A and B are shown apart, each in its own frame.
Chain A
Amino acid sequence: MTATPLQADAGRPIRPPRSRLLPLGLVVSAAITWWAASDDFGVGFSLGEIIDNLTRGHRVLREVLSPNWAFFPQTVDPLLETFKMAIIASVIGCGVALPLSFLASKVTTPNSVTYLVDRGVLNVIRALPDLLYALVLVTAIGIGPLAGIIALILFNLAVTAKLLSETIDGVDTGPSEAAWAGGASRTQMIRSSVFPQILPNYIAYVLYVFELNVRASAVIGLVGAGGIGFVLQVQMGFFAYENVAVIVAELFVAVFLIELVSIRLRRRLV
């Protein structure tokens, strides 16, 4: 055979140049990791400490694994309160998010000033986690579900507006061009050509946010913002881990059921 190596190579595409950013990125990541894990500057990560102390948690863990089911009746009302808080906060938060999302998408915003201002405000709201809102609000307006509801509203508003404005960015522009060509005003254009396209996604986000709220209720209650989390906080204060286990199990089941229902609903919608 006389096939030359040259011929074998001829059909191959040229190798792309190696990225110079990749080694740099790896080195930077390694440096951050060393700094953040170190005992002197960072969190003091050590595998040995975990292994040495693994048995220290056994008392708590044993109590958690033997839940006191007699505690269950006392948790029903707080759990219902959690649901009510989640429902109210989802309705208000997602309701307010709808107009804000239209302002925060290039497809539907009337001018760049409202666009930038709206995006800025949403970014700031999104930067704080729900529990910090709850902490500030409980101090400002007192312990109870009201502080929790407002914290959840702010959180829902931020999440829904972000997801929805991105959905609006991605709509098919054909219908809206047709609406413009037919002489529609901006509101009419949104109503007739954008809104029907995003409605299934919007409802899916509302369900998703509701699910997140039930999850979040466990943590926002810790600072006194009502719901099942408040009971959790009290029981943890007493070190009554067998009761804590009941609450965690309930939340587990509640979240699982909501997920099941919302997956079925979403599948029908989207």
Chain B
Amino acid sequence: MARSPSKVVDGQTRPAPPSRFQSKALALLVVALIVWSVVTIDVDLERLIDLPARLGDSIRRMFLPPDWGYTGRAVEGMIESIQIAWIGTLIGAALSLPLGFLGAKNVSAGPVSSIIRQILNGIRAIPELVLAVVIFIPILGLGPFAGTMAIGIHSIGTLGKLTAEVVEGVDPGPVEAARASGASQVQTLRWGVLPQVLPDIVAFWLYRFEINIRAAAILGIVGAGGVGAILQNTLTFRRWELAGTTVIVIIIATIAIDYVSAAVRRRIIEGGAHRQRADVIEQPELAVT
């Protein structure tokens, strides 16, 4: 390779700026992809022009005013969704805890941890709706139990991955101290590792619960229980005012649970007044979904 040309500025030799060719080529590729998508997507221009009017019309029918008499039925459905999410999260938590430890390189043997990690990745890639339709509805029939299992199994993927990552990040000090004083492998995990990782892991469980609330709200569309079925029915029969009520119930319940869960998470991670930690994992969202 030829040496890059250098400039002499103020009597000093400056290195030439690095080549921008790669990033320019990448940017060009991205723009080309966007243009291709916009040009070839199968959307009528007519419908696009119609869009604001039709959306406005639907929103007006849903919310001006919603049918408050339907609130009871919508709340019932939402409660079933919350139950599905809660039990599903617990199933995911219980199964992901041992898998997470087995998937951590510093705790289990090398090949075991890679195999477990691959299994967790595989589970993560199948959406809960597909799990419900392909596995749990055939086994358990239509209803909330099938949805619960689908959410539980799908949750193992992300929870296991996060658990393994937290376990890999522990401070080795306490682990060495436990070993040095003659602890067995299990005792080392119990007293050296678990106290360090438990707050983070429980916070992930709660965070997953928030995500699962949303997942449980849609499972009803395939007949796996929860509020989704109610929304689908009202929309099939064009009962917009009933759909509006249902949407409002879903939004309020979801925001309320997010709020409570975030407060509990903060308390768990930060601890009480006597225990302050700086590295609060507020939003593991990027790693979770």
**Once the chains are docked, how many angstroms separate the CA of A42 from the CA of B57?**
37
Least CB distance, A151 to chain B, in whole angstroms? 12
Query: What residues on B are CB-neighbors of A142 within 8 Å?
Result: 47
Query: What residues on A are CB-neighbors of B43 within 8 Å?
Result: 144-146, 149
Q: Is the CB of B217 within 8 A of A141?
A: no
Q: Is B180 an interface residue (CB 8 A)?
A: no
Instruction: Tell me the A35-68 residues at the B interface (CB within 8 Å).
Output: 35-37, 41-46, 49-50, 53-54, 56-57, 59-61, 64
1/0 per residue A192-234: CB within 8 Å of B?
Answer: 0000000000001100100010010011001100100000100
Query: What residues on A are CB-neighbors of B275 within 8 Å?
Result: 16
1/0 per residue B230-247: CB within 8 Å of A?
Answer: 011001001000010001
Q: Is the CB of A60 within 8 A of B134?
A: yes
Most buried by A among B51, B145, B148, B217: B145
Interface residues on B, range: 35 or more
| Nearest B residue to A251, CB-CB | B125
Q: Is B54 an interface residue (CB 8 A)?
A: yes
**Once the chains are docked, how many angstroms separate the CA of A206 from the CA of B48?**
25
Least CB distance, B177 to chain A, in whole angstroms? 15
Query: What residues on A are CB-neighbors of B9 within 8 Å?
Result: none
Q: Is A91 an interface residue (CB 8 A)?
A: yes
Q: A222-B129, A252-B125 are in contact. Are A44 and B143 (CB under 8 A)?
A: yes
Q: What total of A-B pairs shows CB separation below 8 Å?
A: 188
Query: What residues on A are CB-neighbors of B228 within 8 Å?
Result: 131-132, 135
Q: Is the CB of A141 within 8 A of B134?
A: no
Q: Is the CB of B139 within 8 A of A53?
A: yes
**Once the chains are docked, how many angstroms separate the CA of A57 from the CA of B134?**
8
Q: Is the CB of B37 within 8 A of A88?
A: yes
Q: Is the CB of A162 within 8 A of B285?
A: yes
Q: Is the CB of A87 within 8 A of B51?
A: no
Q: Is A1 an interface residue (CB 8 A)?
A: no
Q: Is the CB of A132 within 8 A of B247?
A: yes
Q: Is B142 an interface residue (CB 8 A)?
A: no
Q: Is A116 an interface residue (CB 8 A)?
A: no
Q: Is A17 an interface residue (CB 8 A)?
A: yes
Pick from A41, A46, A54, A163: contact of B286, CB under 8 Å: A163
Q: Is A117 an interface residue (CB 8 A)?
A: no
Q: Is A159 an interface residue (CB 8 A)?
A: yes
Q: Is the CB of A33 within 8 A of B90?
A: yes
Q: Is A118 an interface residue (CB 8 A)?
A: no
Query: What residues on A are CB-neighbors of B114 within 8 Å?
Result: none
**Once the chains are docked, how many angstroms separate the CA of A21 from the CA of B251?**
29
Stretch from B78-86, B96-104, B105-113, B165-173 forming part of the interface with A: B78-86
**Once the chains are docked, how many angstroms separate the CA of A22 from the CA of B149?**
28
Instruction: Tell me the A64-119 residues at the B interface (CB within 8 Å).
Output: 64, 81, 83-85, 87-88, 91
**Once the chains are docked, how many angstroms separate the CA of A248 from the CA of B218?**
19
| Nearest A residue to B121, CB-CB | A256
Q: Is the CB of B218 within 8 A of A131?
A: yes
Q: Is the CB of B83 within 8 A of A218?
A: no
Q: Is the CB of B247 within 8 A of A128?
A: yes
Query: What residues on B are CB-neighbors of A188 within 8 Å?
Result: none
Q: Is the CB of B58 within 8 A of A136?
A: yes
Q: Is B138 an interface residue (CB 8 A)?
A: yes
1/0 per residue B277-289: CB within 8 Å of A?
Answer: 0000011011001
Most buried by A among B80, B136, B221, B264: B221
Q: Is A140 an interface residue (CB 8 A)?
A: yes
Q: Is the CB of B41 within 8 A of A49?
A: no
Q: A137-B55, A159-B285 are in contact. List 7 more A-B contacts (CB 8 A).
A: A36-B87, A53-B140, A54-B139, A57-B136, A124-B251, A127-B214, A146-B43
Which B positions have Cβ atoms within 8 angstroms of A?
33-34, 36-38, 40-44, 47-48, 50-51, 54-55, 57-58, 62, 80, 82-84, 86-87, 90, 125-127, 129-130, 133-136, 138-140, 143-145, 147-149, 214-215, 217-218, 221-222, 225, 228, 231-232, 235, 238, 243, 247, 250-251, 254-255, 258, 264, 267, 272, 274-275, 282-283, 285-286, 289
- What are 17 A-B pairs with beta-carbon distances under 8 A? A16-B275, A41-B83, A43-B80, A44-B144, A45-B145, A46-B145, A50-B149, A85-B37, A91-B34, A127-B255, A128-B250, A132-B231, A141-B51, A163-B286, A219-B127, A236-B133, A252-B126
Which A positions have Cβ atoms within 8 angstroms of B?
16-17, 19, 21, 25, 32-33, 35-37, 41-46, 49-50, 53-54, 56-57, 59-61, 64, 81, 83-85, 87-88, 91, 123-124, 127-129, 131-132, 135-137, 139-142, 144-146, 149, 159, 162-163, 166, 204-205, 208, 212, 215, 218-219, 222-223, 226, 232, 236, 241, 244, 248, 251-252, 255-256
